[in-house]
Amino acid sequence: MTLANNFEAYKNEIELIKVQNPVEIELYSIIASIFRERKNGTNISLRDVSARQPSKKSKSFMSESGFPDFVILSKNFRMVEPDEGKFEGQILGAIEAKSILEKSLDFRKDSKLLKQFNDHIEKFKKVIYTNGLEWRFYQYDESEKEEKLEWQVKLGEWNKNEIKWDAIENNAWNDLLDKLEKIVWI
């Protein structure tokens, strides 16, 4: 069973990240694996845009605050005039990872993170934020002109300097996989 479907493998990898290299980029391969192994992952194209630099070619992938870590594209997305940043197809959403040391995803406590969040949700309309311990899915409600937290799942939480995992006991792991599967990107 792969890391994307096995909580013990996922938990072990997060624990290794915590003690070996606790930076957000360590979550990228895990996030990509999880999304690509969901059934609805076959209907989207997941692209890591975290290292893009601002240019005409890349402006479609950035909000006012810069690039998210991933964009979710329709399978028919194509750059038709790359030098002008013109494309066909849709940008369906974005994913933003934070370091597992980021103990809270409550952006209202940090003005820089709040600006990034607001800019990403305004641009991409559907945004997932995760630090590996918590996953949140936001969607922009056009009629209300505001973001809505559609769901959040906590797989574990910080207890002093250790992670307290309770994803199996409270079924959070299966809940996360189910919620990710049910996102309607298109």
pLDDT tens for 63-110 read: 999 999 999 999 999 988 877 778 899 999 999 999 988 877 888 777
Does the pLDDT at position 14 exceed 80? yes
In this structure, whether the domain defined by 3-182 belongs to CATH 3.30.310 is answered with no
Q: Does residue 84 or residue 36 have the better pLDDT?
A: 36
Does the pLDDT at position 150 exceed 80? yes
For the chain, how big is the Rg over CA atoms in Å? 16
Tell me the residue ranges of DSSP E strands in the chain. 44-48, 70-74, 78-81, 86-88, 91-97, 126-130, 134-141, 146-154, 156-159, 162-165
Mean pLDDT of 132-161: 90
Q: What percent of the chain has pLDDT over 70?
A: 99
Query: What is the Cα–Cα distance from 134 to 72, expressed in whole angstroms?
Result: 20
pLDDT on residue 79: 85
Q: Does residue 92 or residue 166 have the better pLDDT?
A: 92
Mean pLDDT of 114-136: 94
- Give the pairing of strands 91-97 and 44-48: unpaired
Query: What is the Cα–Cα distance from 128 to 72, expressed in whole angstroms?
Result: 11
pLDDT on residue 83: 76
Give the pTM: 0.93
Confidence of residue 1 (pLDDT cuts 50, 70, 90): low
